Structure 1
Amino acid sequence: MKSEINFYTNFKEETFDDNTCFLCGRECEIKTTEHIFPKWLQHKYDLWDKRLIVTNDTTIPYRNLTVPCCEKCNNEDLSKVEEKFQALLERSFKNLTFEDEQIIFQWSAKILYATRYKELSLLVDRKNPELGNILTPYELESYSALHLFLQSIRFKTTFHEPKPWSIFVFNCTDDDFFYHNNIVGLCFSMKFGKIAFTIVFEDNNVIEDFMFGLKKLKEYPINFPQYLEINAHLFYSAIIKENAPKYYTTYNDNSKEINVNTVGVLRSRKWNDKEYAYLLDQILTSCGIDIGHSTWNPDGTITSFLIDQNGEHLTRKLFEK
């Protein structure tokens, strides 16, 4: 990579302390606090005093989910992304261009990466501090590609096909905010009332192609259990990835531009219906939905909420090319 040190500090050189910017990796001359879930989002959906479950199954108030950030990254680069993302949300993510998807990718990747970055400073057990923190810098290194892609917030970047993400947009019937993720699958979903999106990172757009039928669901207003079932499909598709694609990235010091190219292809192991049903059960239970039995039935079928008004399974319609 040409002149890498000139545009960001990579994982081998970063210190990960409270005076280091989580985005550019440099020591902050003027330190500010970046809210992982932006203030406008917290106020819009009354999240300030609500709590998010982190990796060790403890909770933290949304308002306390902050990371150190230098003044330029916070007040210039990230602010521009927030403005553009809000504009996309205002139009319900309709008719997304490649550039629009890149904004969603940047906004989402910041949330996922910064949440994990925050866990570097959170204790596994506050009563037993000798157990250490939830995450170590070594473990965070698995997010090095995502961290590198986040530099597209700071510099003009060209992501060459295949793009390192898959995005799905849905229309929902209720007005509640909802967020959940899957760390193993490197994906998450966020529901802004009646509009929602789910994103999978570093899949080279394979899951969007594999789950093409779910793209059509934006034509169907879906209820909350249906929304969760859709995410179970997408999260499981991400979980069964067998490898992480490699990326060749160059930085031009003169033009201040980044180019990202994919090396190799994504491989996934075979879909297992019983494993998928177990994940769906977990997601439903975590959201307080009890159907009285597992979604995996003795005859090998899976209970589904994706039924249309005529009682027909939507997936049969959706996956007809």
Structure 2
Amino acid sequence: METEFNFYTNFKQETFDDDSCFLCGKECETKTAEHIFPKWLQHKYDLWNQKLTITNDTAIPYRNLTVPCCEKCNNEDLSRMEGKFQELLEKSFENLSIEDEQVIFQWTAKILYSTRYKELSLLIDRKKPELGKILNPYELERYSALHLFLQSIRFKTTFHSPKPWSLFVFKCTDEEFFYHNNIAGLCVSMKFGKVAITIVFEDNNIIEDFMDGFKKLKEYPINFPQYLEVNCNLFYSAVIKENVPKYITEYNDLTKEINVNTIGTLRSRKWDDQEYAFFFDYLLKSCGIDIGHSTLQTDGSITSFLVDENGEHLTKKLFEK
């Protein structure tokens, strides 16, 4: 077994420039541009001329969100993974196996990581270039484990239990596309019209277990404010993580396979309703939803959109044991 990461260029060796592949880290003999949000997705949901707001509040057209990628990673490894993800989307992510979940993990992790990678080349303020780039390689190192896990796109990989992600699938009532993430919490959500996925990375499946009631929401198609509220719960659960587990990765040079084991467990600080309400308020307003007051009410309760057709709180049904 090889414990040195000689199967890809790691963070200590990578140059993080336009001549290096964002995925394998090696200098590109033939460089291609990998669209962070793939072209098929942009065309399917009419995103080509729409814009995504990144961490410095700059809005960039989806079509311009690209990262450098070598020919093999782009045309072979990533292309194969994209095809598998498209098949899962066409089936509305029904009856997922652990192998299917791994594809979703790869696809969403690639978007989160490569969006951050793109920020290495973008100025904080184009009018003030002396302020430097949005992100530097030292800050990107926080994503070294996620980048290592992305090598599962290139090599057969076994993630031994517990899996390093929590995944939720929802049915929605409207047809709109929507994407958002939380950088601090290492989580991503994307709504493909009437089906949505939310995933939290590097939590060792703790949040999926803790928030297992939300897995039942597949029985209750939810509207957009309800979708945001569920994500607020999941994202806030990710934000209050105090640590992420450590991982031991082994690469077998003979079989070209990776094994990932975990040591340690996730710890989180105590849930704070006031902080959660502030988080919820911000999310609603950023999506153009103004309810006229804070979600934290004077009696200490929190406004909820998660009610059924009879006005009964869905959370009571969802989290009944």
User: Same fold per TM (> 0.5)?
Assistant: yes
What whole-Å deviation, never above 9, does each CA across 1:158-196 have from its counterpart, x for those lacking one? 000000000000000000000000000000100000000
Tell me, yes or no, if structure 1 residue 316 matches structure 2 residue 311.
Answer: no
Q: Secondary structure at the match of 2:227?
A: helix
Unaligned runs of 5+ residues in structure 1 are none
Q: Secondary structure at the match of 2:28?
A: coil
Which residue is 1:253 aligned to? 253
Which residue is 2:59 aligned to? 59
Structure 2 letter corresponding to 1:220: Y
Name the CA distance, whole Å, in 1 between partners of 2:5 and 2:277: 46
What whole-Å deviation, never above 9, does each CA across 1:115-171 have from its counterpart, x for those lacking one? 000000000000000000000000000000000000000000000000000000000
Q: Secondary structure at the match of 1:114?
A: helix
**Equivalent runs, 1:218-297 vs 2, <5 Å:** 218-297=218-297
Query: Is contact 2:78-2:153 (8 Å) kept?
Result: yes
Structure 1 letter corresponding to 2:63: R
Q: Secondary structure at the match of 1:301?
A: coil
Which residue is 2:142 aligned to? 142
Structure 1 letter corresponding to 2:65: L
Which residue is 2:89 aligned to? 89
Indicate the RMSD between aligned Cα atoms, in angstroms.
0.8
Name the CA distance, whole Å, in 2 between partners of 1:58 and 1:301: 35
Name the CA distance, whole Å, in 1 between partners of 2:5 and 2:146: 17
Compute the displacement of 1:28 (Å).
0.3
Percent identity between the two aligned chains: 79
Which residue is 2:99 aligned to? 99
Q: Secondary structure at the match of 1:63?
A: helix
What whole-Å deviation, never above 9, does each CA across 1:10-29 have from its counterpart, x for those lacking one? 00100001010000000001
Tell me, yes or no, if structure 1 residue 200 matches structure 2 residue 200.
Answer: yes
Tell me, yes or no, if structure 1 residue 18 matches structure 2 residue 25.
Answer: no
Query: Is contact 1:3-1:253 (8 Å) kept?
Result: no
Which residue is 2:159 aligned to? 159
Structure 2 letter corresponding to 1:275: E
Name the CA distance, whole Å, in 2 between partners of 1:202 and 1:23: 19
Give aligned pairs, total.
Answer: 321
What whole-Å deviation, never above 9, does each CA across 1:241-286 have from its counterpart, x for those lacking one? 0001100000001110000000101001111111111111001000
Structure 2 letter corresponding to 1:244: V
**Equivalent runs, 1:39-58 vs 2, <5 Å:** 39-58=39-58
Name the CA distance, whole Å, in 2 between partners of 1:138 and 1:248: 21
Structure 1 letter corresponding to 2:67: V
TM-score (norm: length of structure 2): 0.99
TM-score (norm: length of structure 1): 0.99
Query: Is contact 1:124-1:131 (8 Å) kept?
Result: yes
